[in-house]
Amino acid sequence: MKEFLKEASIFTELNEEELNFLAKTAHEKFYPKDSFIVRKDEAGTSLFIIRSGEVKIILDDVSGGEIPLTILGKGSFFGEMSLFDGRPRSATVIALKDTTAVEISREDFLQQITRSPEIALKIVAEMAYRFRHTDDTIKAFASKVSSEAYANIEKILSAQLE
Q: How far is it, in rounded angstroms, from Cα 41 to Cα 73?
A: 23
Mean pLDDT of the chain: 85
pLDDT in tens, 107-124: 888 887 787 777 777 777
Strand, coil or helix: what is 90?
Answer: coil
* Other residues' Cβ atoms within 10 Å of the Cβ of residue 67: 14
Instruction: Report how many helices (DSSP H) and strands (DSSP E) the chain contains, helices first.
Output: 5, 8
- Using the predicted structure, report yes or no on whether residue 162 has a pLDDT greater than 70: no
- Domain definitions of the chain by residue range: 2-161
Q: How confident is the model at residue 135 (pLDDT cuts 50, 70, 90)?
A: confident
pLDDT in tens, 70-96: 899 998 989 888 877 888 998 999 999
Ordered strands of the 36-38 beta sheet: 36-38, 92-95, 54-60, 66-73
Q: Is the dihedral of CA 7, 8, 12, 14 positive or negative?
A: negative
**Residue closest to 70 by CA, chosen among 126, 4, 5, 9:** 126
**Residue closest to 114 by CA, chosen among 92, 84, 144:** 84
Class of domain 2-161 as given by CATH: mainly beta
pLDDT in tens, 10-25: 777 777 887 888 888 8
